[in-house]
């Protein structure tokens, strides 16, 4: 049985000299396998609609998740100006510190490792795969050369608690701009700070 509020937000950051639009929206599908410090394995699937506004420094995510077989529907509003996020589920809202890294351009040690393409014929999209390594993880992100649009993402490494994880992300229907900016309105009433199950954020501005 799930208890407490979960903050599992996966918004990969992007390589320097290849930044996406300052405002964009799209659908992400994430598969995340992890092992805790206790050796127990966990599996999470996430389908989420994402709205990112780097000028506002805010991210809104509407999530449908299956966590170890349990269904969770929630929204997450992240405000990086105040390092605060609001998780709303079943009509209840909780406020806590942000548990993932702000989307943006990652440092210059991101390396282009492969030029390739997706699709075929007139629908072919030229892509570049970039590799980014930190002390605890290795990430690969595939970007469309035209417009720097994210296509796919893979990462694996260690969690802070000593466990490990492996994650894949696929992107669909990425469009520039925000259709409804009211998604960034902070809830009028939200509970006090509570501990969160930290999600996995990657990269940095």
Q: What is the pLDDT confidence band of residue 160, given thresholds at 50, 70 and 90?
A: confident
Pairwise CA distance, residues 21 & 136, whole Å: 28
pLDDT tops 70 at residue 155: yes
**DSSP string for residues in 43-83:** EEEEEEEEEEETTTTEEEEEEEEEETTEEEEEEEEEETTTT
Q: Which residue has 């902070």 as its token pair?
A: 186
Pairing between strand 191-193 and 111-118? unpaired
Q: What proportion of the chain, given as a percentage, has pLDDT over 70?
A: 82
Over range 65-84, report the average pLDDT: 94
Q: What per-residue confidence (pLDDT) applies to 34? A: 92
Residue 167: per-residue pLDDT: 94
Confidence of residue 11 (pLDDT cuts 50, 70, 90): low
pTM of the model: 0.78
Q: Which residue has the higher pLDDT, 66 or 91?
A: 66
Alpha-carbon gap, residue 164 to 176, rounded angstroms: 34
Write the pLDDT tens digit of every residue in 36-59.
888 899 999 999 999 999 999 999
Q: Determine how β-strand 125-133 pairs with β-strand 137-144.
A: antiparallel
Q: Are the CB atoms for 63 and 8 separated by under 8 Å?
A: yes
């Amino acid at each position: 049985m799930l208890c407490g509020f979960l903050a599992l937000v996966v918004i990969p950051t992007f390589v320097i000299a290849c930044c996406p639009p300052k405002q964009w929206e799209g659908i992400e599908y994430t598969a995340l396998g992890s092992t805790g410090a206790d050796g127990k394995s966990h599996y999470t699937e996430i389908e989420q609609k994402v709205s990112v506004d780097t000028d506002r420094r805010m991210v809104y995510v509407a999530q449908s998740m299956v966590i170890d077989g349990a269904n969770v529907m929630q929204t997450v509003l992240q405000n990086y100006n105040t390092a605060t996020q609001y998780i709303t589920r079943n009509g209840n809202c909780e406020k806590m510190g942000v548990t993932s890294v702000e989307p943006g351009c990652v440092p210059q040690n991101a390396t282009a490792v492969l030029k390739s393409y997706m699709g075929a014929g007139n629908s072919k999209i030229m892509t570049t795969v970039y590799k980014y390594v930190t002390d605890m993880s290795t990430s690969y992100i595939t970007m469309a050369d035209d417009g720097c649009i994210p296509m796919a993402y893979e990462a694996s490494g260690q969690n802070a608690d000593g466990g490990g994880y492996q994650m894949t992300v696929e992107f669909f229907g990425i469009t520039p701009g925000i259709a409804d900016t009211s998604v960034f309105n902070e809830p009028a009433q939200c509970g006090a700070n509570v501990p969160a199950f930290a999600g996995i954020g990657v990269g940095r501005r």
